[in-house]
Amino acid sequence: MSPQHSSLLSVVRFCHNSNPWQDASLAPLFSGPPSDAASVQIGFLPPDVVAAVRRDTDACAKAKGGPPAVRWSDDGKQFWINEQLGSAQARTDALNALAQHWRANKTFANPLDGWRDELYAVYGPPDPASSSAARPSAFLNLERAACALFGVATFGVHATAYTPDYQIWVPRRSATKSTWPGYLDNSVAGGITAGDRPYESMVRECAEEAGLEETLVRSCTKQTGVISYFYTTPEGWVQPEVEFTYDIALPADVVPRPVDGEAESFELMSVEQCVASMRRGEWKANSALVLIDFLLRHGLLTYETLDCDFLALTCALHADLGLPGC
């Protein structure tokens, strides 16, 4: 799935591999009618999804006895969440019903065969009731596996656990994982379920994936920022993603261990081993970006070692996604 890379910049570009704002084949998905000044773009629809939306939306709504989830312009080039759906819950129910229809009919086996029964928040226009006019609100919640079909932004947490001498705890993903089986990964990582806060998600993932006790995690963890990128899958699904990043400075005697089956093992790797394995294409694509960010922040990769790639590498880890909540 992942090729060998001539440089770490190539590793980054393998993940941050598209700009959907410049892709004329994608149809915009808005929060409401584009003529509404309050409407904002929330996603990108590939041609196959456009066709399925136009074919199935009305029939699905009729079967469920409610308003259609999505409406579109006469020329079929602009799409929006039906303004008749007057609440976040109504929008959530309608769009997930459409996704469930596709799942039942095997319309998009990839990615819907990976259905998780886990909702991600999809952000929309600022909430007028919020104390901050700029703060985005959860416009609706969408099944995790369906997010790629609608090209909406998703959010996750990724933590790098390391020892005092800067060896890094690297798990190998289970061979039975539906995505990136057997690849190397960040010490702890996971998506942010709708309603969760990033830090609490990270603490929970540390316990579930690596057996790290909450008290320990809270005492030796530092939030370090975010990375952001556009990843288009080999199947053509657009995935704008934001990952909240954390450093976990573990004592030398603490050893992470697989707990929930997400990882099959943990290994201590030197910086040199990490860099070499990334260039061999052994890492999950977005996790390599998180690790590169860690190495840059800690001065383990420098301008002197990267030369002309240093600025390009640093900038590429922080793309402006231009979507609500990002």
Q: Within a 10 A sphere around the Cβ of 123, how many other Cβ atoms?
A: 21
**Considering the chain, what percentage of its residues have pLDDT values greater than 70?**
96
| Inter-axis angle of helices 47-64 and 88-104, nearest 10 | 110
Would you give the distance in Å from CA 243 to the centre of its chain?
7
The answer to whether 189 and 156 have CB atoms below 8 angstroms apart is yes
Preceding peptide of 111 cis, ω within 30° = yes
Section 281-302 average pLDDT: 97
Section 45-53 average pLDDT: 98
Helices (H) and strands (E) in the chain, counts: 11, 12
Model confidence at 228, in pLDDT bands (50, 70, 90)? very high
φ/ψ (deg, to 5) at 121: -75, 135
Amino acid letter, residue 148? A
Which segment of 61-70, 75-84, 123-132, 221-230 scores lowest on mean pLDDT? 123-132
The answer to whether 148 and 253 have CB atoms below 8 angstroms apart is no
φ/ψ (deg, to 5) at 323: -115, 155
d(CA 296, CA 293): 5
pTM: 0.94
Amino acid letter, residue 97? A
How do residues 102-144 score in pLDDT, each as one tens digit?
999 999 999 999 999 999 999 998 876 655 555 567 999 999 9
Residues 6+ apart with CB under 8 A from 189: 156, 157, 158, 159, 205, 209, 243, 287, 290
Give SS3 for 176: coil
Model confidence at 93, in pLDDT bands (50, 70, 90)? very high
The DSSP-derived string for 83-116 is TT--SHHHHHHHHHHHHHHHHHTTTTHHHHTT--
Given a cut of 80, whether residue 70 has pLDDT beyond it is yes
Model confidence at 2, in pLDDT bands (50, 70, 90)? confident
Q: Up-side HSE of residue 202: CA atoms within 13 Å toward CB?
A: 27
The residues with which 72 forms a beta bridge, in sequence order, are 79
Please give the structure tokens belonging to residue 217.
């995690």
Domains of the chain: 8-18+154-316 (3.90.79.10), 31-150 (3.30.750)
Model confidence at 209, in pLDDT bands (50, 70, 90)? very high
Per-residue confidence (pLDDT) for residue 306, from 0 to 100 = 80
Section 265-290 average pLDDT: 97
d(CA 10, CA 3): 10
The answer to whether 255 and 266 have CB atoms below 8 angstroms apart is yes
Section 147-172 average pLDDT: 98
CA angle 290, 274, 176 (to 5 degrees): 75
Please give the structure tokens belonging to residue 27.
């149809």
Given a cut of 80, whether residue 162 has pLDDT beyond it is yes
Please give the structure tokens belonging to residue 181.
């089986």
Per-residue confidence (pLDDT) for residue 136, from 0 to 100 = 63
pLDDT, mean over the chain: 94
The answer to whether 30 and 306 have CB atoms below 8 angstroms apart is no
Per-residue confidence (pLDDT) for residue 305, from 0 to 100 = 83
